[in-house]
Structure 1
Amino acid sequence: MDNGRTEGGPAGPRVGGADFGRPEVHPSAWIAPGAVVVGRVRLGARSSVWYGSVLRADTEDVVVGDRVNIQDQCGLHSDPGEPVILHDDVSLGHKAMVHGAVVEEGALIGIGAIVLGGARVGRGALVAAGSLVPPGKTVPPDTLWAGVPGKVVRELNDNDRLVLQHTPAHYAALAAQHQDVTWA
């Protein structure tokens, strides 16, 4: 019987396919134990999918660019006619949800934020923790979006941009360390 554990530690990630498609994972990408990647998912170079996250592409593609970090317990799911596309250097904070939407290069989706079907988050934008991007809305590039429902609060400042630029490299380094974790 499979008890979900191997060698005394947690089972590895669940990466699987079916009639609706199979994942394509770049060899340098890392998927944490306990994460689920299923269906037509493409995961780019040096990207990471952290503990408890689910990437489900059973109706449309989920495309994850290079150096993307999908932090703990995130959810990505496509809908018919609405793929999920995360461009290069995107960061998804813990428990963020992206459902049938596009997040452009260098953007950061904050902890617990939700981006819904047909929405688009512009290049280098920051969606604040707990915020909602409603269906079909566009977050302009280089802006801070906050609230439920969200709206543009201000243009990003230099400090904001530094955080957005630093996060992908930071998580790539952390992923390299977590690849070597030994489980008791």
Structure 2
Amino acid sequence: MAVILPVKGIEPQMPESTFIAPNATIVGDVIMGENCSVWFNAVVRGDVNRIRMGNQVNIQDGACVHCTYEKTETVLGNNVSVGHNAIVHGCTIEDNVLVGMGAIVMDNVHIGSNTIIAAGAVVLEGTQVPSGCIFAGVPAKKVKDISAELTEGEINRIANNYVMYSSWFK
């Protein structure tokens, strides 16, 4: 059974449409929109600051979403996919973003919409990632602008697939 715990009297808030894997952990000041999913061994820890997620956000297997005490909250827009084993910490991610597998997004990062953070990328603290591009590497840098085909074929496809996958478990 999933671990869903209040912290200092604040309970996570998730609509009926949310899928939470049996071994996921969600604690504290976390509010999710419609059709979100938190997958196996993923952790969403709103214990030291708040976490807000828009609609159709998926936190894939082994990923960690956290924030920094009294400094940075985490805000995820609509249609955001956080890949397997990624770390998203104290940052803002706008709509239609794919954070690739094993990527790390640090405090005070702002990622613009329609963007891909490549697998294994490390987005350093305070980085401003513009909309409509791909960031890759360590430290992550812009490698190219994103095409409409890539937005539809990767960002939207993955987010939509995770809504479908979650329906298999309901």
* TM-score when normalising by structure 2: 0.96
Deviations 1:93-138 (A, max 9, x none): 1111101001110011000000000001110110000001100101
- Report the Cα offset of residue 66 of structure 1: 0.5
SS in 2 for 1:98: strand
User: What secondary structure does 1:25 align onto?
Assistant: coil
Distance, in Å, in 2 between the alignment partners of 1:166 and 1:107 is 11
Q: Which moved more, 1:68-77 or 1:15-24?
A: 15-24
Aligned partners of 1:21 and 1:39 also within 8 Å: yes
**Equivalent in the alignment of 2:88:** 98
Distance 1:71 1:105 in 2: 17
Match of 1:178 in 2: 169
Contact in 2 for aligned 1:76/1:99 (Cα 8 Å): yes
Confirm or deny that 1:33 pairs with 2:27: no
Question: RMSD in angstroms over aligned alpha carbons?
Answer: 1.0
Whole-angstrom distance in 1 between the partners of 2:62 and 2:7? 23
Written as runs of structure 1 = structure 2, the 5 A alignment for 1:105-124 is 105-124=95-114
Q: Which runs of 4+ in 1 moved over 2 A?
A: none
Q: Which runs of 5+ in 2 are unaligned?
A: none
> If you compute each CA radius of gyration, which structure gives the higher value, 1 or 2?
1
Once the two structures are aligned, what percentage of the paired residues are identical?
32
Map 1:1-184 onto structure 2 (within 5 A).
Answer: 12-19=1-8, 21-79=10-68, 80-162=70-152, 163-179=154-170
Q: TM-score, normalised by structure 1?
A: 0.89
Q: Report if aligned partners of 2:62, 2:85 keep a CA contact under 8 Å in 1.
A: yes
Q: Which amino acid aligns with 1:63?
A: R
Q: What number of residue pairs does the alignment pair up?
A: 168
In the TM superposition, residue 160 of structure 1 has moved relative to its aligned partner by 1.5
Aligned to 1:94, the other structure's residue is in SS state: coil
**Preserved contact between residue 20 and residue 58 of structure 1 (Cα < 8 Å):** no
Secondary structure in structure 1 of the residue aligned to 2:11: coil
| C-alpha distance in 2 between matches for 1:156 and 1:102 | 20
